[in-house]
Chain A
Amino acid sequence: MSILSPEQLAIQKTAKEFVAKVIIPNAAKYDKSGEFPTMLLEAAKASKIFAMAVPKEYGGLNYDALTQALVLEEWGYGCAGMGTTLAASILSMDSVLVAGTDAQKSAYFKPMLNAEIGSFGLTEPGAGSDAAAGKATAVKKGDNYILNGTKCWITNGGFASVYVIFALTDPAAGVKGISAFILQRGLPGFTIGTTDHKLGIRASNTVELLLKDVQVPATNLLGKEGEGMKIAMMTLDMARPAIAALSVGLAQRALDACVAHVHTRFPGKPFPGQTLQFKLADMQIMVEAARDCLHQAMLLRDAGAPYTKESAICKTFCSDVAMQVTATAMSLMGSYAYTSDIGKYMRDSKIMQIFEGTNQIQRLVISRAVLAHPPAPIAAQKAGK
């Protein structure tokens, strides 16, 4: 029995089919080459899946948060690198969703209907966890802003059509001086720097973005001047569970590989011993708990309830689970794993604990929420009762 609706189950099934047909057969190839799989965008055109988060009025699929998580889990199962491409594109459009005008939304979402992608540029070399320490600037000049600076580790940066870029409109104001802008690919002065060769998610494109006197129309400002950090935080609340979803997919994949391995290794022996069996049970417990925790956060979001804490919890827990389950699968399967895809799942899992806010930053968010609500004192009970 499933708590998912028939529509959600159907979408999940379609996602599984797409992943089996397009993603899984190509995952190893792009992991090895580190090239960006443009074939993925080609293949995704028919389904509009890159517009799954785009509202109906803009021609998108308008999936609710839980359904998006179902799709992303499947992509993570197939290849977390390709899944990251989808997640990062949605991350960038979430900014427009929370702060964009109708015209901005129309313009930004349109490419996604055609499997073009977006990119979110917040991080800088000196501003990782400390996102407010960015140095990129945007100076108002007539009807334009002139942007200068360098962004780094920008997912999809080399292949996106549209970008959300954060820059300081008022450097003296610190966090309150950050603003968000929509940029189109190919603007004069907006170029792509070095491409990162990473430990994992190698099919996803990670680059440096260079901004040199880039002229951006003032109509591309998202929200108001100084609202950049607020927009970034709201965006990340929305987007973090995508990392959780990819992580659940990774963990499920490693567990499935492990179970398959045990069956081939011990043919005709349904119970290969408690040590091994209990390790598999622990992996299953973690995967299910991770998925449930993610779905709970998504249900809150879909219900319009606050979910900042739950977003942070599911991102942290699911990525920690992915790391642990993939590492356990590696040890358990031994040399089989070391010469197989399991290594990729481990490498891919590692970034899930780092990007879109490290798990340490998430723990700051969660601990703040915990400490903000001390429990009511419990009346003392008499001894012996």
Chain B
Amino acid sequence: MNFDLTEEQQLIGQSARDFAKQYLEPIAVGLDQTGEYPKAVVQALAKHDFLGLLLPADVGGAAAGFVSYVEVIEDLSRYCGAVASIVNNHTVAAYTIQNWGTAEQKKQYLPAMAKGELLGGFAIFENGPMPGVGQDALIATKHDVGYVLNGKKAFVRNAGEAGVYVVFATTDPAAGAKALTAFIVQASAVGVKVGEKQETMGLKGCPVAEITFENVVLAETALLGSLNQGAEIAAKALAVASVAEAAQTVGIGQAAVEHAAAYAKQRVQFGKPVAVLQAIQTLLAEVATDCHLARLGLRNAALLIEDGKPFEVEAAMVKSFLVRLGPKMLIDTCQVEGGFGYSETMPLPRMFRDIAGTTLLDAPGDFPEKLIAANIA
């Protein structure tokens, strides 16, 4: 396996770093404080082709491939986790339409999504034990012209800012998740109500809210993929998103360990920079190692996605690895920066709050280990 980036991938990475330095570094702290959606930056992202990276050229995308995409996500995350989160959630919605949409659907949504005129959202989670089960489950009832949606989706990112959502609903409450079906729902559809923006620990600026669907009437053409194909689509889309999310974790962790290493060189205690102490070296070295190994793992998964090969097990391994070790990257780098670093005037507290949002197990009872264990051969 070749982990070297091609020249093109390196160029895209460099442009993401340049972009992040110019557009994200100046706003990251303010965004974290206000939590306001960074509209101007999202427009700038679109202008630089970062919102259509994976989309093919015929809809105005950059057709850059998944390896380049995760490189971009890592670089954006180094400077601002929230913006990377907005991009990732938008991209997974676009990816789903690109992969399962009809020619009509692609034509209708993807050019506007690539241009950033239309932001995407991905609505899968519910308050019950799994989508399609429980009293808040989103139910799609067949009716003469198409479907009617009733129920709720929880923790929808980009909620309120997205113009279009990929939404998963069950067409048969008795069958629950087995009858999960994907739909494309426009934010402007009658009966779509975005709840109040929820306060999050970090990644502030990437809005999170519940969406209520009240007799939302959809035409047959809103169906994404085939009837009851939702669970399959969701599993694949979430696995793809988890690889990009791993790149968020690694980007934040890498930025933190670089900051902590620099801090350790200039912080003098006991007459020497603390960087010479073995205890500090161990903390830094473990984080740097975890970042490096996670990056190799996620690039491997990205390459498989790019080549159209099965990637789900590798993606689950990266997720499993980072659920264990992602938050530790900031727990340990904060330790290096001690009392100074605990102040919100320093950058690590923001990263500590952000990284926790990139290693959440949002599909309860569906741990990544299950898939990994089933595929050991």
Contact = CB atoms under 8 A, between A and B. Distances in A.
Nearest to B155: A335
A349 to B, nearest CB: 9
Contacts of B44: none
Interface residues of B, number: 48
A199 B352 contact: yes
A363 interface: yes
A360 B335 contact: yes
A350 B369 contact: no
Contact of A196 (B199, B334, B343, B363): B343
A331 B327 contact: yes
A128 interface: yes
A276 B364 contact: yes
Nearest to B157: A335
Interface string A198-212: 111000000000000
A350 B269 contact: no
B62 interface: no
Interface in B97-150: 125, 127-129
Contacts of A327: 327-328, 331, 356
A38 interface: no
A308 interface: no
A153 B345 CA distance: 13
Interface string A171-207: 0000000000000000000000000111110000000
Nearest to A200: B342
Interface in B258-302: 268-271, 274, 277, 279-280
Contacts of B280: 360
A2 interface: no
18 contacts: A129-B269, A129-B338, A197-B344, A199-B334, A272-B364, A275-B370, A276-B364, A327-B356, A334-B155, A335-B154, A338-B208, A338-B356, A343-B202, A346-B356, A347-B201, A347-B349, A354-B334, A360-B277
Interface of A: 123, 126-130, 133, 152-153, 196-200, 265-266, 269, 272-273, 275-276, 323, 327, 330-332, 334-339, 342-343, 346-347, 350-351, 353-355, 358-360, 363
Interface of B: 125, 127-129, 154-155, 198-202, 208, 268-271, 274, 277, 279-280, 323, 327-328, 331, 334-335, 338-340, 342-345, 349, 352-353, 356-357, 359-365, 367, 369-370
Given A275-B365, A338-B200, 15 more contacts: A128-B338, A133-B269, A133-B270, A197-B344, A199-B342, A265-B127, A275-B369, A335-B154, A336-B155, A337-B360, A338-B201, A350-B342, A353-B335, A354-B334, A354-B338
